[in-house]
Amino acid sequence: MVSMNRAAIGLMAGIATVFVPVVSHGQSNPESYPERPVRLIVPFPPGGGTDIVSRTILPAWSALMGQQIVMDHRGGAQGLLGTGLGAKANPDGYTLTIAEIGAVAVMPALNPKVQFDSAKDFAPITQLIEQPYIMAVHPSVPAKTLGEFIQLAKAKAGGLNYGSGNATAHVAQELFFRAAGVKLQHIPYRGSGPSMQALLGNEVQTIFSGPGAAIGQARAGKIRPLAVTTGKRSRELPDVPTLDEQGFKGFEISGWYGLVAPAGTPAVIIRKINADLAKILSAGEAAQTLRARGYEPTPTSPEQFGKFMRAEIARWSKAVKDYDIKDSQ
């Protein structure tokens, strides 16, 4: 059995919004930012974790900014499409991007043709949340525990499918299945929302899902959670044991989202956005709602988030190389 600790691995619903273009008004004064609506690129389809977290913080954030923040969903290529657009935007603070661990740290390790450099092309603003992954199966799967699922997967070698909605879930599951000594067929989806729909429809028999997509379905009995990937059990699913508790000692995986701007964005703008989000994520209704949905708010300084991102990029690059994991998109 492979032992993987957090330091070694370091990881690991909504209504579609119509994008309203933000029209350029020439040069802006950073000191008076924001003077017009702000575009927020969400690099995954509606219904998944990035969508849920963004919608939760948006009302309070818009109120503090004094301007409308317009969500622009740009799903595709496991988050690379929208993230790449964010990297190439004007560095004036009027286009911001949700940074998801898979798109900024995992996919660049899997795909050498990525058209942006996560460590150089973004100005980090803050980490937003940290989350567990929940390993769940379709109710028709005749396994009530993780041990029973592993036995079933060994008996049906290659006969079960697993889905992923982002690169992090893909690589995390590959690492886990290798540690468990089983092989499943991988089916990729455009986001965690579509991958959850695939599990509900029994197109795939298991996924690693973020809490936003999984908790409600688990409570409704539509999926069966077998494990959580963090070191502690989920507050919202306290009866579901961790992987560590079930024999995979040190196997701890968490995901995260953050907020970035294009490199070169004025520091005064970065600091203002950071201060607003620190208030929202530290206390109040949005922070409470995030926790109730299984997310842990984790506001940081821009410097802390930049250091964290660089460490995650290096860590995932090493994990992908060491375990020779290939992009299956």
Give the CA count within 13 Å in the CB-facing half-sphere of 161: 15
| Torsion angle of the four alpha carbons 195, 253, 259, 16, in this order, in degrees rounded to the nearest 10 | 20
Which SS3 state, helix, strand or coil, does residue 138 take?
Answer: coil
User: In the chain, where does the domain assigned CATH 3.40.190.10 lie?
Assistant: 134-246
Residue 79, CA distances (Å) to 32, 73, 75 in order: 32, 10, 6
Contact predicate 93/266, CB 8 Å: yes
State the Cα–Cα distance between residues 293 and 217, nearest whole angstrom: 12
CB contact set of 291 (below 8 Å; sequence gap of 6+) = 235, 297
Q: Which two tokens stand for residue 61?
A: 């954030």
- Which ranges in the chain are annotated with CATH 3.40.190.150? 6-130+255-322
pLDDT digits (tens, 9 = 90+) for 63-82: 999 999 999 999 988 899 99
| Residue 49 contacts residue 212 (beta carbons within 8 Å) | yes
Residue 13: the pLDDT is: 31
Two structure tokens written together for 257: 């989202």
Q: How far apart are CA 63 and CA 149, in angstroms?
A: 47
Which pair of structure tokens corresponds to residue 5?
A: 């600790």
Q: Parallel, antiparallel, or unpaired: how do β-strands 185-188 and 296-297 relate?
A: unpaired
Pick the CATH number of 6-130+255-322 from 3.30.365.10, 3.40.190.150, 3.40.50.2300, 3.30.70.2740: 3.40.190.150
3-state class (DSSP) for residue 176: helix
* Three-state secondary structure of 68-89: CEEEEECCCHHHHHHHHHHHHC
Query: What is the Cα–Cα distance from 194 to 265, expressed in whole angstroms?
Result: 34
Buried b (16+ CB within 10 A) or exposed e, 105-134: bbbbbbbeebebebbebbbbbbbbbebbbb
User: Which one, of 165, 131, 71, lies nearest residue 258 by Cα?
Assistant: 131
User: At 175, is the secondary structure helix, strand, or coil?
Assistant: helix
User: Is residue 290 within 8 Å of 157, Cβ to Cβ?
Assistant: no
pLDDT of 20: 37
Pairing of strands 185-188, 95-100: unpaired
Q: What is the mean pLDDT of each run of 10 residues along the chain (329 residues)?
A: 41 34 55 96 92 97 97 93 97 98 94 92 98 96 97 94 92 94 93 92 96 93 97 93 95 94 98 98 96 95 98 92 79
pLDDT at residue number 27: 56
pLDDT computed for residue 267 by the predictor: 97
Residue 46, phi then psi, degrees to nearest 5: -60, 150
Can you tell me the distance from the alpha carbon of 194 to that of 48, in angstroms, rounded to the nearest whole number?
A: 8
pTM listed for this prediction:
0.85
pLDDT of residue 107: 93
Looking only at Cα atoms, what is the longest distance across the chain?
A: 65
pLDDT, tens only, 255-280: 999 999 999 999 999 999 999 999 99
Q: Which CATH superfamily, name and number, covers 134-246? A: Periplasmic binding protein-like II (3.40.190.10)
